Amino acid sequence: MNNIDWKQLPFAYFKTDFNVRVYHKNGQWGNLEVSDSEHIPIHMAATCLHYGQEAFEGMKAFTGIDGRIRIFRMEENAKRMMRSAHGVMMAEVPVDLFSKVVLKAVKLNLKYLPPYGEGASLYIRPLLIGTGAQVGVAPAKEYMFMVFVGPVGPYFKEGFNPVKMQIVRDYDRAAPVGTGHIKVGGNYAASLRAGQRAHQDGYSSCIFLDAREKKYIDEAGPANFFGIKGNTYVTPDSSSILPSITNMSLRVLAADMGMKVETRQIPVEELEEFDEVGACGTAAVISPICLIHDRDTGKVYQYCKNGQPGTISQKLYSRLKGIQEGLEPDVHGWNTFVE
Ligand code: PLP
Ligand code: COI
């Protein structure tokens, strides 16, 4: 038996028993290999180390109220990883292979799946890297796809309690027609300095603006941004943000709730007009934002003045969690059961 204090889990690496790997050589994917090692032996000239040929994904498995295990929207993550692979010229992992590796990694580590009601889930981290050696700038001829998993708690220590964020203009996480729309490591490297400064200044994360004009809201750290204005759900349209699967789902749920949904540019000044704002993503789920500080203008935008998340954010959160944990019917067919 495990002695895991599920309720206290941070969002962090957690060693489990097995991971699953598959190698692409001579133009084709090989067989699944189960490993109990936390390490990857790698050629020193591998392209993932030098030229950023790497992409990853993040998804979650939940124990439902009925005891069944659900993985949320796995196929969307598989498709996004294919787009990431295409973007940095890596071998693409077909959706069925992606699913097979994910399911195997989850099944091999079932004892790490948090029980229902503990506020935790099993985070699933697929990783695709160029392993072939190159010294000239060129894509590798060999790749490895692997999946590891680990139990996690909330990404922001506040959980569903409101967080504070800082608007930055002196850093960009991605260029307008660069790699912001795919999930590759370079975007995260570019976000580290701004993120660390935001933490040191007392904020959970930073809000990046569009890289070209610094006029519009782009991305809320490792999550998408959304705002609620009356009965409208608004989220940025930008070529440099990651198309969040959580956000895609919230747009559907908002429409199901009878809300209007707008995907469009959001000028910074419009922050004044929102009733509620939040960050959304697999790790962040919905993190309501109570305060945004613009570090250049000094302007402060405040929300949820009673200290509580807004009512629409709460509704969206419980609908989303409800589907993921089997409390609500999965009318859109978003869950994959692990049998
Ligand atoms: N934006 C960035 C930069 C992210 O890293 C993530 C996390 O995956 C998201 C948004 C949210 O995407 P998703 O909801 O698919 O997890
Ligand atoms: C996710 O939400 O899955 C993420 O990837 C965010 C972060 C941990 C990179």
Q: Which of 247, 85, 241, 256 is nearest to 172 (CA)?
A: 241
User: What CA–CA distance (Å, rounded) separates 246 from 229?
Assistant: 19
| Protein residue with least CA distance to atom 5, ligand 2 | 58
Q: What distance in angstroms lies between residue 188's CA and the mean position of ligand 2's atoms?
A: 10
84, 173, 245 from 220: Cα distances, Å: 20, 11, 15
Tell which one of 192, 282, 286, 334 to mutate to probe ligand 1, the residue whose CB is within 8 A of the most ligand atoms.
Answer: 282
> Which residues, judged by CB distance below 6 Å to any ligand atom, belong to the binding site of ligand 2?
58, 222, 281-283
Cβ(223) to ligand 1 under 6 A? yes
Q: Which of 58, 87, 15 is nearest to 222 (CA)?
A: 58
Spell out a b/e string for 166-183, using b for 16 or more CB atoms within 10 Å of the CB, else e: bbbeebbbbeeebbbbbb
15, 100, 183, 321: which is the annotated catalytic residue? 183
Query: Given a cut of 90, is residue 305 above it in pLDDT?
Result: no
Residue 286, helix vs strand vs coil: strand
Q: What is the pLDDT of residues 135-160, one digit of tens each?
A: 999 999 999 999 999 999 988 777 78
User: What CA–CA distance (Å, rounded) separates 123 from 13?
Assistant: 9
Greatest Cα pair distance in the chain:
60
Q: According to CATH, what is the number of the domain 163-324? A: 3.20.10.10
Cβ(244) to ligand 1 under 6 A? yes
Query: Would you call 272 exposed, middle or buried from its count of C-beta atoms within 10 A (0-12, 13-18, 19+)?
Result: exposed
CATH fold label, 6-152: D-amino Acid Aminotransferase; Chain A, domain 1 (3.30.470)
pLDDT on residue 98? 98
Q: What percent of the chain has pLDDT over 70?
A: 100
Tell which one of 282, 286, 287, 324 to mutate to probe ligand 2, the residue whose CB is within 8 A of the most ligand atoms.
Answer: 282
Say whether pTM exceeds 0.95: yes
DSSP line for 9-29: --SS----S-EEEEEEETTEE
pLDDT on residue 65? 98
Q: How many helices (H) and strands (E) does the chain have?
A: 6, 18
Please, which pLDDT band fits residue 161 given cuts at 50, 70 and 90? confident
- Could you tell me where in the chain the CATH 3.30.470.10 domains are found? 6-152
Q: Which of 149, 167, 164, 316 is nearest to 247 (CA)?
A: 316
- Could you tell me where in the chain the CATH 3.20.10.10 domains are found? 163-324
183 catalytic residue (yes or no): yes
Average pLDDT of the segment spanning 74-89: 98
Query: Given a cut of 60, is residue 1 above it in pLDDT?
Result: no
Q: Which atom of ligand 1 is nearest to the CA of 58?
A: 8
In this structure, what are the phi and psi dihedrals at residue 318, rounded to the nearest 5 degrees? -75, -30
Please, which pLDDT band fits residue 94 given cuts at 50, 70 and 90? very high
Q: What distance in angstroms lies between residue 136's CA and the mean position of ligand 2's atoms?
A: 31
pLDDT on residue 334? 98
Q: What distance in angstroms lies between residue 283's CA and the mean position of ligand 2's atoms?
A: 5
Q: Are strands 285-294 and 163-168 parallel, antiparallel or unpaired?
A: parallel
Number of neighbours of residue 319 by Cβ within 10 angstroms? 19
Q: What distance in angstroms lies between residue 244's CA and the mean position of ligand 1's atoms?
A: 5
